[in-house]
Chain A
Amino acid sequence: MTPVHFSFSAAFILGLMGLAFHRTHLLSALLCLEGMMLSLFIALSMWSLQLESMSYATTPVLLLAFSACEASAGLALLVAATRTHGTSHLQNLNLLQC
């Protein structure tokens, strides 16, 4: 495992752990998702840089475009949840439990 591989894996797993265990605000969950996506961006761009393959040079940008769409959908949901529930705490999302 190269140092680059280790660092982006560690960044991704830290983001995943944050998403799974740190559950107070919706915004922090979205930030963790974005962190995971950025570590994947590093991974893809490093892969195409190391292999010097032209055909893979566009993949990081495609990933970034999709993660931007995802982040904007997440922020829209943050606004919607704040308007309907009053807060953005994830604890308040409990209407559907049984």
Chain B
Amino acid sequence: MNPYVLMILISSLGIGTTLTFMSSHWLLAWMGLEINTLAIIPLMAQQHHPRAVEATTKYFLTQATAAAMILFASTTNAWMTGEWNIQQLSHSPSTTLVTFALALKIGLAPMHFWMPEVMQGLDLTTGLIMATWQKLAPFAIIYQISSTTNPTLLTTLGILSTLVGGWGGLNQTQLRKILAYSSIAHMGWMIIILQFMPKLTLLNLMIYIIMTSAMFMMFKYNNATKINYLTLTWSKSPVLATLTMPMLLSLGGLPPLTGFMPKWLILQELTKQNLAITASIMALATLLSLFFYLRLCYAMTLTLSPNTTNTSSTWRIKSPQMTMPLATISTLTIMLLPITPTIFSLIM
């Protein structure tokens, strides 16, 4: 792609998200979402092969529908109450409609079917943008409407997407689909806490973005798109292969690692709100996700590739890819738990 065009597209992505962050008016927030969608479409379709075009078409249809639904709900709210402010969405049917539209945009459970397929059609860099940056703008709106949305709806969406995210990933061998299902499960955790403590949603989003970028960068470094490619990574870069195991367990939320922090705080808050059953269901549903992360760990560190390997390690050519971001972000993915009080007090 022409570098000037690429620059325009990347800056439009930035501008779209910034516009949604800045706006308190529904129309401007909608414009930001639309700019975001329109800017990533050429990036997704730049390798002109059938899978990329198919993924782009599916992404376009879902995102355009979701954006139109958001604007319709806010227009209905304006007709009923005369108010365009995001935080004052008081008409109850339009609140529900906005929640559904935003759930479609970020891929929460009953509306998640586009997410794995779209992720599968992209290359890993665009997939990284899709899993991280494209979530920010919808979450800016979700955070602002958190006080007016229907609590039952939010709980249902949260539990359902944690279950579906865990369950759907069990059957997959493609890494990008596994990451998409892991994204669905993490979105469920973010939504379940939204009504009680919206700050924790932001904390979970931040930690999720760190962890999933580390995974995408690691897969990009090894050019891995299937589980059986992972069995060869030890011969390419043994240290990274070893490091990936705690990264995956952190994504699954095991205690001495970063991924445990949001789950811990969310479970604590849910228990404080006398929702022990919800908390137990969430914790048990995460075990499903943990199973497929463990399967990835097993494939990476405990098995050999089914191919014949003539040498025990491949020739170490210096990789042209940048490793500094990967090193930083994988350290963050593994070792952030001890500074939980600092992060918690920063975000509160």
Query: Which A residues contact B (CB, under 8 angstroms)?
Result: 2, 5, 9, 12, 16, 19, 26, 29, 33, 36-37, 39-40, 43-44, 47, 51, 59, 62-63, 66, 69-70, 73-74, 77, 80-81, 84-85, 93, 95-98
CB closest residue in chain B, given A93: B54
The answer to whether B344 has its CB under 8 Å from any CB of chain A is: no
Which of B69-77, B128-136, B234-242, B279-287 participates in binding chain A? B69-77
Which of B41-49, B150-158, B217-225, B325-333 participates in binding chain A? B41-49
Contacts of B49 in A (CB 8 A): 84
**In B99-130, which residues have CB < 8 Å from any A CB?**
116-118, 120-121
Contacts of B68 in A (CB 8 A): 12, 16, 33, 36-37, 40
Question: Do residues A33 and B79 form an inter-chain contact, with CB atoms below 8 A?
Answer: no
A97 to chain B, nearest CB (A): 7
Question: Do residues A12 and B171 form an inter-chain contact, with CB atoms below 8 A?
Answer: no
The answer to whether B61 has its CB under 8 Å from any CB of chain A is: yes
The answer to whether B162 has its CB under 8 Å from any CB of chain A is: no
Question: Do residues A19 and B65 form an inter-chain contact, with CB atoms below 8 A?
Answer: yes
The answer to whether B263 has its CB under 8 Å from any CB of chain A is: no
Given contacts A84-B54, A96-B118, 20 further A-B pairs with CB under 8 A are A9-B72, A16-B68, A19-B61, A29-B61, A33-B65, A33-B68, A39-B72, A62-B31, A63-B71, A70-B34, A73-B41, A73-B60, A74-B60, A77-B57, A81-B53, A84-B48, A85-B53, A93-B58, A96-B54, A98-B177
Contacts of A39 in B (CB 8 A): 72
Question: Do residues B69 and A40 form an inter-chain contact, with CB atoms below 8 A?
Answer: no
The answer to whether B320 has its CB under 8 Å from any CB of chain A is: no
**Known pairs A93-B57, A96-B117, A98-B177; A77 contacts B45 (CB<8 A):** yes
Contacts of A62 in B (CB 8 A): 27, 31
CB closest residue in chain A, given B51: A95
Question: Do residues A40 and B55 form an inter-chain contact, with CB atoms below 8 A?
Answer: no
Question: Do residues B31 and A80 form an inter-chain contact, with CB atoms below 8 A?
Answer: no
User: Which one of B79, B117, B118, B120 has the greatest number of beta carbons of chain A within 10 Å?
Assistant: B79
CB closest residue in chain B, given A74: B60
CB closest residue in chain B, given A8: B75
Question: Do residues B64 and A98 form an inter-chain contact, with CB atoms below 8 A?
Answer: no
Bound together, the chains give a CA A44 to CA B64 distance in angstroms of 18
Contacts of A40 in B (CB 8 A): 68, 71-72, 75
Contacts of A9 in B (CB 8 A): 72, 76
Question: Do residues B51 and A96 form an inter-chain contact, with CB atoms below 8 A?
Answer: yes
Question: Do residues B27 and A59 form an inter-chain contact, with CB atoms below 8 A?
Answer: yes
Question: Do residues A95 and B34 form an inter-chain contact, with CB atoms below 8 A?
Answer: no
What are 12 A-B contacts with C-beta separation under 8 Å? A29-B61, A43-B79, A47-B75, A63-B71, A66-B31, A70-B38, A77-B41, A80-B48, A80-B57, A95-B121, A96-B51, A96-B55
Question: Do residues A96 and B120 form an inter-chain contact, with CB atoms below 8 A?
Answer: yes
